[in-house]
């Protein structure tokens, strides 16, 4: 298995402020560290774990665009969302900030609107 950083294009969810009048549409992005066999599985698992994705119905045509970056090879365990695992969030030692930032750095992903000039 490999560790991937998966970030979606900008999405929207309907924030319900008042049940009677509703609320505004709010932008958000799916951003997860995912342990998976390949890029495709990583995208699917991140999409499936989307907390605002109650509108999706497993129709792959509805999957948003994602940028996927390989961060580490040979990760133990099953395919899973690993964003909150201690190993990837606070066990880096002296170079914690630099390594943590590198782990979450997507670089340029013009097809989802990240990077460029």
Residue 45 lies in a domain: yes
The 10s digit of each residue's pLDDT in 87-104 is 666 666 667 777 778 888
pLDDT at 113 over 90: no
Cα 61 to Cα 41: distance, rounded to the nearest angstrom: 15
Determine, yes or no, domain membership for 48.
yes
Does some domain include residue 117?
no
Query: How many domains, in total, are found in the chain?
Result: 1
SS3 101: helix
Tell me the average pLDDT across 26-32.
91
Structural domain includes residue 85: yes
Query: Is 7 a domain residue?
Result: yes
The confidence score (pLDDT) of residue 108 equals 87
Q: What is the pLDDT of residue 68?
A: 97
pTM for this predicted structure: 0.81
Q: Tell me, what's the pLDDT at 96? A: 74
Report yes or no: 99 and 92 within 8 Å, Cβ to Cβ: yes
Q: Residue 73 sits in which domain range?
A: 2-112
Q: What is the mean pLDDT of residues 37-46?
A: 96
Residues 6 or more apart whose CB falls under 8 angstroms from that of 84 comprise none
CA distance 34 to 9: 17
Tell me what pLDDT residue 106 has. 87
Q: Is residue 64 part of a domain?
A: yes
Q: Is residue 54 part of a domain?
A: yes
């Amino acid at each position: 298995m490999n560790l991937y950083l998966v970030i979606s294009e900008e999405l929207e969810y309907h924030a319900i402020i008042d049940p009677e009048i509703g609320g505004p549409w709010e932008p958000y992005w799916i951003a997860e560290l995912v342990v998976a066999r390949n890029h495709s599985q990583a995208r699917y698992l991140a999409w499936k774990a989307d907390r605002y994705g109650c509108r999706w119905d497993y129709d792959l045509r509805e999957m948003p665009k994602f940028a996927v970056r390989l961060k580490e090879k040979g990760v133990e365990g099953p395919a899973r969302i690993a964003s909150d695992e201690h190993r990837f969030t606070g066990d880096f030692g002296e170079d914690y900030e630099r390594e943590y930032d590198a782990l979450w750095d997507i670089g340029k992903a013009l097809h989802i609107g990240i990077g460029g000039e």
